[in-house]
Amino acid sequence: MTNRWVPASPCGPGCVGASAPTVGRPRAYWRMARAVSVLLAALFVLAPLSGVVGDRTREALVRWVFGALLRAFGAKLEVRGEPDLGAGTPGRGALVVVNHVSWLDIVAMNRVRPMRSVAKWEIRGWPVVGPLAAKAGTVFLDRGRLRALPGTVAELAEALRGGAVVSAYPEGTTWCGRVTGRFRPAMFQAAIDGGVPVRPVALRYRLADGAATSWPAFIGDDTLIASVRRTARLRGLVVELHVLDEIAPGRAADRRELAELAEGLVVDALGGARRTVEEAHPALV
């Protein structure tokens, strides 16, 4: 089922590129095995513990899990800007909006600051990851049911009003990272209703030599397994998070203007003017 809410990205397998520095297959398989071990430990050991420990210990456990996942894939995390995502005031909620490239986005974000997330409904059914996401208080969005959207926005607004910091990916789908999509305004209504600031974050994947890479992207007809395998093969992966200026409550007249403000900050941080897929990947034309 489709509707005008379901976003579409022109990015596909051709955006990934054929060449990149890689590790050998044995090391790639070892990386994936380590990642699975971390996820299983999180599900069967750390998740039960999180219910009996204090908030600071729980946050430290979550940071450890996501940090261990990054290390498993040989990825280095670099944060530019406020490391607490500007949401360090106790009891104050914030909507953190990020451009969407990969399943690895959420891993990097929660390594910096554990938070609730807005995620597509399908993730709920993913092995291991789905149960962990549900335990973490993820707000699941069914993009195929437009009628469910107001209820999801209301649930998110209530969480923000209650002091939660929640990450959302307002492009609504993944892009290759060298181009971005329009920020859909629906989730920004929750920030307005909740009376909380919006904190944009620009996310970029690159190699150790500074060159951009689309290999971690989860796009087009990619399966999750194929994307994970490709990421595990990559050598020298660096995840850059640029924490940008906060947009205070009341600065925008409505959710559309708020979405445009956040989108403009992210696009500028990623290199200025928005490019088409053809401009970013001339080999495709």
CB 217 within 8 A of CB 174: yes
Q: Residue 188 falls within a domain, yes or no? A: yes
Residues of the chain with pLDDT under 70: 1-6, 86-90, 128-129, 143-146, 148, 272-285
Give the pLDDT score at 1. 42
What gap in Å lies between CA 30 and CA 25, rounded to an integer?
8
CA 33 vs. chain centroid, Å, equals 23
Q: Residue 5 falls within a domain, yes or no? A: no
Give, for 120, the enclosing helix (H) or strand (E): strand 116-120
Q: Residue 258 falls within a domain, yes or no? A: yes
Q: Residue 40 falls within a domain, yes or no? A: no
What gap in Å lies between CA 131 and CA 121, rounded to an integer?
12
- The number of domains in the chain is 1
Q: Residue 241 falls within a domain, yes or no? A: yes
Give the pLDDT score at 88. 54
Give the three-state DSSP class for 181: coil
Q: Residue 37 falls within a domain, yes or no? A: no
Inter-CA distances, 271 with 113, 223, 268, Å = 25, 29, 5
Q: Residue 190 falls within a domain, yes or no? A: yes
For 170-196, write each residue's pLDDT tens digit.
998 899 888 889 999 999 999 999 999
**Domain residue limits at 142:** 74-284
Q: In what order do the strands lie in the sheet with 116-120?
A: 76-80, 238-243, 198-206, 94-98, 165-168, 116-120, 139-141
What gap in Å lies between CA 204 and CA 74, rounded to an integer?
16
What gap in Å lies between CA 216 and CA 206, rounded to an integer?
10
The CATH number that applies at residue 216 is 3.40.1130
CB 97 within 8 A of CB 201: yes
Q: Residue 38 falls within a domain, yes or no? A: no
pTM of the model: 0.89
Inter-CA distances, 18 with 22, 84, 100, 129, Å = 11, 36, 21, 29
